């Protein structure tokens, strides 16, 4: 399946292992990634806060570029925050023809135009809805047996439910659980799995931000999770990169590895941990992998 692929900024900046691992697993899942390398940042909600029309126009430009990719079934992203920011802009653009025309008039100078109704799915949604859990299971070479995985969804991919198309037929707020199970792992439920990682206020209220990260990591540790998995690189920054600081705020040792979704999938598909960039995290996933043999769950 061919997709217009939006990797986002952080997956190519502070979490390069995310973009890298997605590129590694795509061929194994028969996904052809046509990278939208001309597109700009979604604004992550911050540009919309600054000027709604600016965010809508920048994202409409990305949508228009995606619609130009010949033979692409849809647009795909690997960042929850991108998904949330894009969905918000798309909701306004799709709801009102006059507004869409207004935004398109700005894009016209570049010869671009956004047509209502783009399908834009996060990799998690695509994995479940397009590839399917059975097909995913069938591709597993190294099942995550005995691996206790705590899903960490992040806010932008679970709320608001209506905008994100979450309903009884599409329980997207449970897809991470389903994927972990399909890969042979054990889902660990804990209080913070759908709460905020704290990243958006890291520069405004660092203590509250790190308290959020620290609490969720602590809750997962108390539920005896071996690791967390997240579809959001910004959550990854607060949960992994900032974990040494979060430990100080909550006053306990956490030592909780946090994997990007493509990394977890890649492990199950038989890829080498280093190939997936698992050695690049601040918290080493030693509880996940026996580094000498690359056997998943050996430590469990």
Partner 1 sequence: MAETHDRPPEQFTLRMRRYDPESGEAPYWDEHTIELEPHRSVLEGILQARDRFDGSIGIRCSCRQAICGSCGIRVNGEPSLACHTHLDAAKRGARNGVIEIEPMGNMPVLKDLIVDMDAVHWKKIQRVTPWLLAKQPVPEREYLVEKEAMVDVTQSMACIQCGACVSDCLAMEVDPGFIGPAALAKAYRFVGDPRDDQQFERLNDLAQDPQGIFDCTHCFKCVDACPKGVNPMGQIMRLRRIAIGDHHIVDQNNGERHEAAFTTLVKDNGLLWEAELLPRSYGGNSMFGKFAPAAGKELLSSLPAILKAVLRGKVTPMGALKPHKIPKADLKAVQAIYDKVEGREQRYELNLYISGEDEVAGEPIPVAAGAGADGGEQAAAPTSPEGSANQ
Q: Binders of partner 1 among 38-77, rule CB under 8 A?
A: 38-41, 43-54, 56-58, 61
Could you give the 3-state DSSP secondary structure of residue 11? helix
- Examine residue 222 and tell whether it contacts partner 1 (CB under 8 A): no
Contact 64, 24 (CB under 8 A): no
41 vs 223 by CB, closer to partner 1: 41
Residue 111, token pair as written in the block: 């010869």
* Phi-psi map region of 187: left, alpha, beta (phi>0 left; psi -120 to 50 alpha): beta
70 vs 203 by CB, closer to partner 1: 203
Radius of gyration of the chain (CA): 19
Quickly count: other Cβ atoms within 10 Å of residue 146's Cβ: 14
Half-sphere exposure for 94 (CA within 13 Å, toward CB): 13
- Examine residue 122 and tell whether it contacts partner 1 (CB under 8 A): no
- Examine residue 165 and tell whether it contacts partner 1 (CB under 8 A): no
29 vs 288 by CB, closer to partner 1: 288
Among 90, 230, 242, 263, binds partner 1 (CB under 8 A): 242
139 vs 281 by CB, closer to partner 1: 281
Give least dist CB 137 to partner 1, A: 25
- Examine residue 245 and tell whether it contacts partner 1 (CB under 8 A): yes
* Distances, alpha carbon 121 to alpha carbons 3, 18, 58, 76, in Å: 10, 17, 18, 5
Backbone angles phi, psi at 105, to 5 degrees: -65, -30
Pick the stretch among 6-14, 123-131, 177-185, 256-264 that binds partner 1 (CB under 8 A): 6-14
Give least dist CB 268 to partner 1, A: 23
**For residue 264, which of 297, 229, 238 has the smallest C-alpha distance?**
229
- Examine residue 121 and tell whether it contacts partner 1 (CB under 8 A): no
Residue 24, token pair as written in the block: 């590694």
Say whether the peptide bond before residue 160 is cis (omega within 30 degrees of 0). Answer: yes
Burial environment of residue 28 by CB neighbours within 10 A (0 to 12, 13 to 18, 19 or more): middle
Among 77, 80, 122, 212, binds partner 1 (CB under 8 A): 212
Measured N-to-C along each axis, helices 52-67 and 97-107 cross at an angle, to the nearest 10 degrees, of 80
Give least dist CB 20 to partner 1, A: 12
Pick the stretch among 99-107, 130-138, 180-188, 289-297 that binds partner 1 (CB under 8 A): 99-107
Contact 214, 222 (CB under 8 A): no
Give least dist CB 155 to partner 1, A: 4
Pick the stretch among 70-78, 92-100, 133-141, 288-296 that binds partner 1 (CB under 8 A): 92-100
- Examine residue 274 and tell whether it contacts partner 1 (CB under 8 A): no
Window 251-270: residues binding partner 1 (CB under 8 A): none
- Examine residue 87 and tell whether it contacts partner 1 (CB under 8 A): no
Among 5, 25, 92, 113, binds partner 1 (CB under 8 A): 92
Among 155, 227, 228, 271, binds partner 1 (CB under 8 A): 155
Quickly count: other Cβ atoms within 10 Å of residue 29's Cβ: 20
């Amino acid at each position: 399946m061919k997709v217009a692929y939006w990797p986002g900024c952080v997956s190519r900046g502070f979490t390069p292992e995310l973009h890298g691992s997605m590129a590694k697993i795509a061929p194994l899942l028969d996904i052809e990634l046509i990278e939208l390398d001309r597109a700009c940042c979604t604004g992550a909600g911050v540009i919309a806060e600054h000027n709604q029309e600016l965010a809508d126009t920048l994202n409409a430009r990305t949508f228009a570029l995606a619609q130009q990719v010949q033979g692409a079934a849809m647009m795909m992203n690997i960042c929850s925050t991108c998904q949330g920011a894009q969905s918000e802009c798309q909701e306004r653009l799709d709801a009102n023809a006059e507004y869409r025309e207004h935004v398109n008039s700005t894009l016209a100078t570049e010869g671009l135009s956004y047509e209502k109704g783009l399908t834009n799915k996060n990799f998690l949604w695509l994995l479940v809805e397009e590839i399917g859990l059975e097909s995913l299971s069938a591709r597993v070479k190294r099942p995550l047996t005995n691996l206790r995985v705590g899903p960490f969804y992040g806010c932008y991919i679970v709320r608001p439910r209506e905008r994100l198309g979450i309903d009884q037929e599409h329980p997207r707020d449970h897809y991470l659980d389903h994927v972990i199970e399909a890969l042979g792992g054990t889902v660990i439920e804990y209080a913070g799995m759908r709460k905020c990682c704290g990243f958006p206020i890291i520069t405004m209220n660092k203590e509250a931000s790190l308290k959020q990260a620290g609490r969720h990591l602590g809750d997962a540790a108390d539920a005896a999770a071996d690791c967390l998995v997240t579809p959001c690189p910004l959550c990854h920054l607060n949960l992994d990169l900032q974990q040494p600081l979060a430990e100080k705020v909550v006053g306990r040792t956490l030592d909780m590895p946090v994997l990007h979704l493509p990394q977890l999938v890649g492990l199950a598909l038989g890829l080498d941990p280093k190939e997936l960039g698992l050695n690049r995290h601040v918290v080493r996933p030693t509880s996940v992998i026996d580094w000498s043999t690359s056997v998943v769950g050996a430590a469990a």
